[in-house]
Structure 1
Amino acid sequence: MTPPALMEASRDEWLDINGCALRYRIEGQGDPIVLIHEIGGCLESWDAVAAVLAVDNTVIRYDQRSAGRSEKTMEPFTAHDLANDLAELLTALGVSRRVRLVGAAFGAAPALLHAAAHPDAVSSVALLAPALDIAPSSREILEARSHGAQESGMRSVLSSSLDRAWPESRRTGNSEFPRFRGRYLANEPHGFAQHNEALAEIELGDALERVKCPVLMLAGLHDVVRPVDNVQAAAERLPSATVVTIDAAHFIAAEAPQVAAAELLGFFGGGEHSSLRHVDIPEAEFSEEQRAAVAEAVAGVRGRMPAPMRAWLVNPELAARAQALGETLRYRTSLGPRLSELAIIVTARLWGTPFEWRVHSAAAAQAGLDPHLIESIRLGILPEFDAEDERTVVDVALALNHRHRIGDALFERATAVLGRRGLADLVGILGYYSLVSMTLNVYEIDTAGATSPFTASEGATDGLP
């Protein structure tokens, strides 16, 4: 039974934890996901990501001590103290299910320390641009930043902190940056300094090696604070870690929230309690063929095992060949991401597959599809198209799903608009993601007890269900 604290409506509350009043917020219902913010951040750093995750999960986010609107303490603290705060907060909230932890930058440290100390209470961990160690030269920068903030205020340290982590070239057209900057400047200087000092003195010991659950690390391709090679080096210390690169700088959750949320959903899947039908094969029980199939998937473009492969693994050859086909059809066709993702979300809508929809609707938006078009498809309304190639993709998808063939006129139009290879690629995408949808639905991967994202509309047509 879900603890009463986890069933409350979304609002800010405070709890006294280890002698400090921590602000927290709980949204949604389902398996718990805990979001831990970065230095200079607060629970609002996760706004856009939390909105996606809370559709079918209980999302718990909080301001760490001396940050956001939590109490500002006078005593210094360490990453281990922050991990103790996390453990005590979850206990106070009555969280009894295994949690999934997400930590950004220095927020990764308490997440991993908690996972190492409480292996039975954590099912998986995801880290965004994780700060898990510090070079001597960086320690000097942090100490100077701490001193500068306390002596001259937050604005005096912008050039060495925010401007470096979220460079000017990455701000154009991003509506979140002004809000992020405003919250950053509103930090209480002493609390900000305390967090920088805690990072400067970070010492995790053998905690990374003791984390046994799966770990996903997201690395920003444009991150100069925690570059990709730094994240990869940290991943090598973990027994089961995967690195995925994101087109972003350091503050991934704020700069690329839809992509981050899609990666998190893909990694977390449906949660351990989401299905009565599907049982994952424990890694320790993998056959050589199953282990090889998973290794091939992890070494590929995705950097992880795709969700339906969890079911396919009972037949290792099916798992290996299907995931390889999927990698080709998603990433290496002539259609490009915009049209490929359009075909995938139409398939997800026609099959009524929530997991596939959530992951790929976010990817479709990132690929440049009009949000109004995506919303029309979600509601089951045949969209009005400005682009002929988009109209053609949807017409082919609907014809094949409803009539199982296309007429001569549509064949000629599709060939003219998409090209002969483009049409072949489209048929492959529609077929493969129908297989994915059937698998997710049969095994109820992220469907049992989940809230459907699909809403019937009075404007719905025969084109979409």
Structure 2
Amino acid sequence: MRSWSLKRPDGVVLVGESRGQGEPVVLVHPTGMTRRGLAAAADHLAPHLRAVTYDRRGWGDSRGTPAPQRWWASHGDDLIAVIESMGEAAEVVAWAGSCAAAIHAALRRPDLVRQLVLFEPTIGAGPPRARRLRHLRRALTAAAAGDHRRSRAVFWRATTRRGTWSLQAGSRGLVCAFDHVRSDIRELLLDAPGPLAEELRAGTEDELLERLAELRPEVHILLGGTSVRPVYRIADRWVERCPSAGFRGEDDCDALLPLNRPRVFAACVLEMLGYADWRAIAAARLAELREVLRLPALERLRARCVRNSEVFMPHVVSATPRWAAELEAGSASLLVGSTYEVTGAGARSFGVIDECGEDYGYPPGWFEPVPIDWQER
């Protein structure tokens, strides 16, 4: 990793980091966060691209504050300067409010932006509804009183909460991603230094919606499955107004996907930019699952099938394998006598990973190792 700083003509100093080699991809952090929030995702992008992160002016280690009337346009100018300093055009990945900066940069200098990946863009959100307006006022009030941690907590709970409160369900109908992430992620969001109140007052640049048709780079919109409903409506508007736009949602991911699942986020970005395909996402999910469950290292070998294609699933209580007849019809048939690539933890169990990344588990007696050397590809 290489640290750098860039001084702008107006005295603003931008501080950032560069990881890896190859074609550049610039990650632009959202409101309420610094470059630290995208560091883990950049680490996973670095083996494939030169991943660049930086603190926008006023945030983190960078200095200077944009004029209120040109808030996101100033951040767009800074993004252009960062790309120019690299000497070649770059892919740009932006999150939430910073998508406005990315759009400003792409409209002004389309020659510098190859493609755009926008996670939960807020351009076109319009005035917040009553409930969100109350949260916004509470965040601004806390900031004015000097209680910045409380201000940020209100902001993140409001922007990552999905669901509707009702007399019947109460708060049980609400899901808040901020309240369910690891404590270190919460601390990162609560301690991020920067002009949160000023950026909230700057708005979401809704007028840029009218200029989306002018965009030359391809636009890819990524959403979490539990992202708030307004961002899905925004994505629909984008696709209507921008011929080069398309979007996808990751069903089991939330509004803080780049923070709490950076490997999956990086795999999605690589796929959207054309540097990998769906296998990268499947591999990222499997690696993440092993990490969360602290599974032992898996053996990888070739083995010959000696039984039929019954599918065994672990019992929810005893964890012992049991035959799941309802799953057999939908599984890929295993042919007795055929050789398969299998993975497993010691001699306890083996699994055949199919082309969709699903891992079907079988007892070890269903395979016998083939006496050949397995060469890593």
- TM-score, normalization by structure 1: 0.59
Report the Cα offset of residue 117 of structure 1. 2.0
Instruction: Summarize deviations over 1:272-307 as a string: whole Å, max 9, x none.
Output: xxxxxxxxxxxxxxxxxxxxxxxxxxxxxxxxxxx6
Which residue among 257, 265, 268 is the counterpart of 1:260?
265
The runs of 5 or more residues in structure 1 that have no matched partner are 1-9, 271-306, 308-354, 384-394, 400-405, 434-460
Report the Cα offset of residue 130 of structure 1. 0.6
What is the RMSD computed on CA atoms of the aligned residues? 3.4
**2: CA distance, partners of 1:217 / 1:233:** 12
- After TM superposition, the structure 1 = structure 2 runs for residues 140-289 of structure 1, keeping only pairs within 5 Å, are 142=136, 145-158=139-152, 160-167=154-161, 170=177, 174-175=181-182, 178-188=183-193, 191-199=195-203, 203-204=207-208, 206-224=210-228, 226-246=230-250, 247-270=252-275
- Do the aligned partners of 1:129 and 1:226 also contact (CA within 8 Å) in 2? no
- % of aligned pairs identical? 23
Instruction: Summarize deviations over 1:312-367 as a string: whole Å, max 9, x none.
Output: xxxxxxxxxxxxxxxxxxxxxxxxxxxxxxxxxxxxxxxxxxx676433203235x
Instruction: Summarize deviations over 1:16-57 as a string: whole Å, max 9, x none.
Output: 124311111111001110000110111111122111111121
Instruction: Summarize deviations over 1:357-413 as a string: whole Å, max 9, x none.
Output: 6433203235x3467999956xxxx35xxxxxxxxxxx6xx34xxxxxx4xxx2415
Report the Cα offset of residue 161 of structure 1. 1.0
* Misfit runs of 4+, over 4 Å: 138-144, 369-377, 429-433
Q: In 2 relative to 1, CA 15–134 (structure 1 residues): closer, same or farther, beyond 3 Å?
A: same
Q: In 2 relative to 1, CA 72–116 (structure 1 residues): closer, same or farther, beyond 3 Å?
A: closer
- Do the aligned partners of 1:42 and 1:67 also contact (CA within 8 Å) in 2? yes
Instruction: Summarize deviations over 1:205-235 as a string: whole Å, max 9, x none.
Output: 6431111222111122222374322322233
Larger fraction in helix:
1
- Do the aligned partners of 2:80 and 2:105 also contact (CA within 8 Å) in 1? yes
Amino acid paired to 2:227: D
SS of 1:102's partner is strand
**1: CA distance, partners of 2:25 / 2:287:** 24
Within the alignment, does 1:133 sit opposite 2:124 as a pair?
yes
SS of 1:217's partner is strand
Q: In 2 relative to 1, CA 373–421 (structure 1 residues): closer, same or farther, beyond 3 Å?
A: farther
**2: CA distance, partners of 1:430 / 1:249:** 26
**Alignment correspondent of 1:119:** 110
- Do the aligned partners of 1:66 and 1:192 also contact (CA within 8 Å) in 2? no
Which residue among 53, 60, 64 is the counterpart of 2:56?
64
**1: CA distance, partners of 2:49 / 2:65:** 32
- Do the aligned partners of 1:164 and 1:224 also contact (CA within 8 Å) in 2? no
**2: CA distance, partners of 1:181 / 1:372:** 21
- Do the aligned partners of 1:128 and 1:252 also contact (CA within 8 Å) in 2? no
SS of 2:241's partner is coil
- Do the aligned partners of 2:309 and 2:334 also contact (CA within 8 Å) in 1? no
The runs of 5 or more residues in structure 2 that have no matched partner are 162-174, 313-326, 341-351, 357-371
- After TM superposition, the structure 1 = structure 2 runs for residues 329-408 of structure 1, keeping only pairs within 5 Å, are 358-366=280-288, 368-369=289-290, 376=297, 382-383=299-300, 398-399=302-303, 406=304
**1: CA distance, partners of 2:59 / 2:295:** 37
Instruction: Summarize deviations over 1:78-127 as a string: whole Å, max 9, x none.
Output: 21111011112222x2322x211100001111112212222222221101
**2: CA distance, partners of 1:374 / 1:100:** 35
**2: CA distance, partners of 1:171 / 1:136:** 23
**1: CA distance, partners of 2:246 / 2:209:** 21
Instruction: Summarize deviations over 1:411-454 as a string: whole Å, max 9, x none.
Output: 41544648465242899x98968xxxxxxxxxxxxxxxxxxxxx
Which residue among 73, 77, 83 is the counterpart of 1:90?
83
SS of 2:333's partner is helix
Which residue among 366, 389, 412 is the counterpart of 2:307?
412
Q: In 2 relative to 1, CA 120–75 (structure 1 residues): closer, same or farther, beyond 3 Å?
A: closer
**2: CA distance, partners of 1:266 / 1:415:** 34
Report the Cα offset of residue 264 of structure 1. 0.8
**Alignment correspondent of 2:12:** 20
Q: In 2 relative to 1, CA 421–188 (structure 1 residues): closer, same or farther, beyond 3 Å?
A: closer
**Alignment correspondent of 2:34:** 42
Amino acid paired to 1:162: W
**2: CA distance, partners of 1:205 / 1:416:** 50
Amino acid paired to 1:49: A
- TM-score, normalization by structure 2: 0.71
Report the Cα offset of residue 463 of structure 1. 3.4
- Do the aligned partners of 1:132 and 1:234 also contact (CA within 8 Å) in 2? no
Within the alignment, does 1:110 sit opposite 2:101 as a pair?
yes
Larger fraction in strand:
2
